[in-house]
Amino acid sequence: MTTITLKGFIHAHVKQKWEDPSAPHNFAFFSFDATSSGYLMVAPYEFEYTLPAGWNCVAAEVSMLEAERDRIAAEVQQKLMAISKRIAELQCITNDVRPLDQPARGQEAA
């Protein structure tokens, strides 16, 4: 197993005027000082993490990319279905041509 050390900063989100001042702060860990991005620095911090045995960075990235590919494919499939539906609707509309001496529907002489 491999142990890695992560160094960074614990920050608290600065509450906005509309947020409940009695609610607890939201905390975040950044690898950089995020005080210029609307966060309050709580403390610098570092921790160690032991990667699971057999963890593979390439396999994890491939899995992430496959999930993204599947999400995009599903989105494209939905758009293609919407386009096909619209084409079918348009093809159902008739543009029958009638002779000029024939009255339009609903305007026949009584």
Q: What is the 3-state secondary structure (H, E, C) of the chain?
A: CCEEEEEEEEEEECCCCCCCCCCCCCEEEECCCCHHHCEEEEEEEEEEEECCCCCCHHHHHHHHHHHHHHHHHHHHHHHHHHHHHHHHHHHHCCCCCCCCCCCCCCCCCC
| Each residue's pLDDT tens digit, 38-84 | 899 999 999 999 998 888 899 999 999 999 999 999 999 999 999 99
| Each residue's pLDDT tens digit, 7-49 | 999 999 888 778 887 877 789 999 999 999 889 999 999 999 9
| pLDDT given at position 109 | 62
**Residue 28 in domain:** yes
Residues 37 and 63 in one domain: no
**Residue 105 in domain:** no
| In the predicted structure, residue 110 carries a pLDDT above the cut 60 | no
Residues 44 and 63 in one domain: no
Query: Which residues span the domain enclosing 19?
Result: 3-50
